[in-house]
Structure 1
Amino acid sequence: MKNFILCHPRASSGQDPNQAIIVKCDIPQTIPIDHVLLEVDRFGFSANNVTYQALGETSHFRYFDFHHAPEAAGVSSKTHGVTPVWGFGTIIKSTHSKVHAGERVYGYLAPARYLLLPVSPEVNKYAFFVPRPHLPPDRRPYNQVTRCAGDPLYDPSPIVEDLTMLYRPLFWTSFWCEDWLNSSNYKGGSTQILLSSASSKTAFCLAYLIRRRNSLQGSSRRIIGLTSTKNLDFTKHLALYDDVFDYESFDTSLVGDCARGNCIYVDVAGNDALNARVRNHFRARGHSELIACIALGLTNVSPSTVNSSSANWGKNDFSVGAGSEALPEANPQVEHFFMPEWLAIRKQQLSVSAITQMQKEAWTKLMSGCRSWGVSLRRVCGPNQVKAAYEEIVKRGLAPGDAFVWSLWEETAETGSKAKL
């Protein structure tokens, strides 16, 4: 059996980092003790993975340090990186006494056909963990491999597995951020929420959750999205925002009812110039108040954001943003939402069963509600086809309505090629 692995040159190697390479190599014939060999079925690919690749060598993030590149002709871990992906697979061999062949799993995998992973002694019915002592302890959520048989959120249907790979990596950041905001009564009863990068999954999942809270509480809190001109139609079509404005003209469009009352600004874009314009808009208007600025992500990756993030970002990279350093005198100060910290607090306040029930209810509703959002799912199967799909993304970019599920296995009647969510 041969393995196929999707790799990219490291920028430090002097090669083009956007050059996709499919490496063909042997799989291990012997499995070390306390390891599992996975057959990776399929994995999601989105703007999230573009960010992983762009920050692969950045010292704070180190995304290329989760999975080693294979040693093959012209390829090594010094010259190439493997961009992590969220995907599903099946254990085909195990030398760990508590993990068994045949188990279906979900986790932070490599874009490959086969993946060999070590397993730590910490195993429970829900998950096992990959030991990565070379990475900071706060990377633990990435090291968890979920055992589907024990996962209360798992649904074996192919369409739900696909949706899981696309939404699950980001949805829980949005979910716990909304829970955090609600715990403060939205900072004392704010009447409107302004979100940047409104076409991103993190932002529109947060908008979805705020809208759901509004319905449950009978609130008239307005949700306003900011996005690029090219993503304006898609963002409006989501029907999750009360108003959507483009970045170029929002400070002249955000008037009337949209500019009155207390406002919370949630920065998902991580764009310093945009954040300054938002602050200046509210400062100049006077009849409305910006009472909170919350950093919640990074969707606009550029060399400048990469350079600043490695020096200035917070304790982990699961839900952080940039921008506060550009405006040291700004009021209110930027608050960075850190999902693991808030979840640790909630675990002190609520029982495990209560948290599990909260998440199950929210996830079940999402799996039903997200199918009307107009996101087109494209399944791509086979090494050559995946390489071509990646090259097309490099050439044309990723539209917010695009969602990809890739597999390095050849297409079968079961996997199909295209579906509408």
Structure 2
Amino acid sequence: MSTTTLLVRQNQLADTAVRTTADSALQDGEIRVQVDRFALTSNNITYAAMGEMLQYWQFFPSGEAGWGIIPVWGFGTVQESRHPDIPVGEHLYGYWPMATHAVLAPHRVSSTGFSDGAPHRAGLHAVYNHYLRTNTDPFYQPFNEDIQALLRPLFITSWLIDDFLADQQFFGAGTVLLSSASSKTAYGTAFELAKRPGIQVVGLTSATNWAFCESLGCYHRVLAYEELEQLPAQPASVYVDFAGSVALRERVHRHLTGLAYSCAVGASHVQDLGGAGNLPGPRPTMFFAPAQVKKRNADWGAQGLNDRLVQAWQQFSTAVQAPPQPWLVVQHHQGSAATQAVYQQVLGGQGSPRIGHMASLLA
């Protein structure tokens, strides 16, 4: 047996390579999972762009200097097992390498899932190391796997951003401005924020995606990037930056003199990334979703947090798929060449924001 993997040059994300290597024998306690299919979104581009800073390259080391494996969310099936509690054929949801197979070392196994106990992942955040058994996962619906892979990890981040801002009483602001408003994490955040009384949700997007953002119905106002200065400068506002564009961040900070908080989330504009610099107003603060998970686990307990997330997810996933115009239409890409091509498309920010890409490296 062999494993095919898509590698990305860490300092030149458009440079990719496909490697096929012979599988080594499993050790006691390990399992080999076939990665059936995974989502490719701007979230994965953020993982790559911030791979060094936030340790995303460390989850699945490539073994080749300068090359990395981008983590992806999706579904896999246990193909071989040397673990007594994980049977062959078990279906799992979690964080995979962009590859045909992954070897995991399950520990802390329960009826709901397990963590990967591989030594190189010991110091990485537990949220990304956990794998769920679909037969006991309250989020899981077998007919809805694509939507879950595409939106579930993004929506959890969206929900946590909204929860964090509400927990901070929106820093006294009545307007929340979201960049890259057509991105899935942004409109998931807008969907939650729109439920908050007294909060005005404004989306910033490219002119080509303006109509799409308007059609979603979760933004009170949508502006093209060129129209930013139409916003009133003085009322207290919060900026949630999904784009990561230095030039845009500087325009926002200089124009919005009432800016109360600047929250950095994503990096979809990889050609224009950079630091905070000497900006007026509040210093941009990176949002790290696992930190809010940890806080809410302490506040509500793991079950209390999970119950809230499942309820919110069900509302969101229903809205996303509602006829006559669903927010998301899924396209499938099979094989290494097709996966490389769609990766380049997502990296370049091309295509319709209404399309969700599901890929598989399996031939």
Task: With the length of structure 1 as denominator, give the TM-score of the two structures.
Answer: 0.77
Corresponding residue of 1:131: 117
Asked if 1 retains the 8 angstrom alpha-carbon contact of 2:45 and 2:268, the reply is no
What CA distance in whole angstroms lies between the structure 2 residues aligned with 1:391 and 1:351? 41
Corresponding residue of 2:59: 66
What CA distance in whole angstroms lies between the structure 2 residues aligned with 1:114 and 1:40? 5
Corresponding residue of 1:254: 231
1:162-177 matched pairs, under 5 angstroms: 162-177=146-161
Corresponding residue of 1:377: 330
How many residues are treated as equivalent by the alignment? 360
Asked if 1 retains the 8 angstrom alpha-carbon contact of 2:345 and 2:351, the reply is no
What CA distance in whole angstroms lies between the structure 2 residues aligned with 1:254 and 1:396? 26
1:257-406 matched pairs, under 5 angstroms: 261-283=235-257, 289-302=258-271, 304-305=273-274, 308=275, 323=276, 325-327=277-279, 330-372=280-322, 373-391=326-344, 397-406=350-359
Corresponding residue of 1:44: 39
2:23 to 21, 27, 31: 27
SS of 1:100's partner is: coil
SS of 1:33's partner is: coil
Asked if 1 retains the 8 angstrom alpha-carbon contact of 2:246 and 2:272, the reply is no
Name the stretch that deviates more: 162-171 or 43-52.
43-52
Asked if 2 retains the 8 angstrom alpha-carbon contact of 1:20 and 1:391, the reply is no
What CA distance in whole angstroms lies between the structure 1 residues aligned with 2:73 and 2:310? 19
Q: What stretches of structure 1 of length at least 5 have no aligned partner?
A: 70-75, 284-288, 309-322, 411-421
The 1:386/1:296 distance shift into structure 2, 3 A limit, reads closer
Asked if 2 retains the 8 angstrom alpha-carbon contact of 1:128 and 1:146, the reply is yes
Where in structure 1 do 4 or more consecutive aligned residues deviate above 4 Å?
Answer: 391-396
Matched, 1:110 2:92: no
Q: Which amino acid aligns with 2:60?
A: H
What CA distance in whole angstroms lies between the structure 1 residues aligned with 2:253 and 2:13? 36
Q: Which amino acid aligns with 1:193?
A: V
SS of 1:164's partner is: helix
Cα shift at 1:209 = 0.4
Q: Which amino acid aligns with 1:206?
A: T
Asked if 2 retains the 8 angstrom alpha-carbon contact of 1:41 and 1:407, the reply is yes
What CA distance in whole angstroms lies between the structure 1 residues aligned with 2:341 and 2:242? 30
The 1:79/1:182 distance shift into structure 2, 3 A limit, reads closer
What CA distance in whole angstroms lies between the structure 1 residues aligned with 2:304 and 2:291? 18
Asked if 1 retains the 8 angstrom alpha-carbon contact of 2:239 and 2:259, the reply is yes
What CA distance in whole angstroms lies between the structure 1 residues aligned with 2:109 and 2:120? 20
Corresponding residue of 2:8: 8
2:220 to 211, 233, 242: 242
Corresponding residue of 1:92: 79
Residues 180-233 of structure 1: CA distance to partner in whole angstroms, max 9, x if unpaired? 222243334x3322112212212111100011x23xxxx242211112223222
Task: With the length of structure 2 as denominator, give the TM-score of the two structures.
Answer: 0.88
Q: Which amino acid aligns with 1:276?
A: E
Cα shift at 1:334 = 3.7
**Larger Rg over CA atoms:** 1
Asked if 1 retains the 8 angstrom alpha-carbon contact of 2:45 and 2:347, the reply is no
The 1:100/1:6 distance shift into structure 2, 3 A limit, reads same
Cα shift at 1:37 = 0.6
What CA distance in whole angstroms lies between the structure 2 residues aligned with 1:49 and 1:406? 13
The 1:180/1:9 distance shift into structure 2, 3 A limit, reads closer
The 1:394/1:224 distance shift into structure 2, 3 A limit, reads closer
Name the stretch that deviates more: 168-177 or 18-27.
18-27
Identity of aligned pairs, percent? 29
1:137-148 matched pairs, under 5 angstroms: 137-148=123-134
Q: Which amino acid aligns with 1:46?
A: T
What CA distance in whole angstroms lies between the structure 2 residues aligned with 1:240 and 1:282? 22
Residues 369-421 of structure 1: CA distance to partner in whole angstroms, max 9, x if unpaired? 112453331101233333344455567735433321012234xxxxxxxxxxx
SS of 1:351's partner is: helix
Corresponding residue of 2:186: 203
The 1:339/1:37 distance shift into structure 2, 3 A limit, reads same
What CA distance in whole angstroms lies between the structure 2 residues aligned with 1:295 and 1:384? 33
Asked if 2 retains the 8 angstrom alpha-carbon contact of 1:192 and 1:221, the reply is yes
What CA distance in whole angstroms lies between the structure 2 residues aligned with 1:355 and 1:81? 33
What CA distance in whole angstroms lies between the structure 2 residues aligned with 1:383 and 1:280? 45
Matched, 1:149 2:135: yes
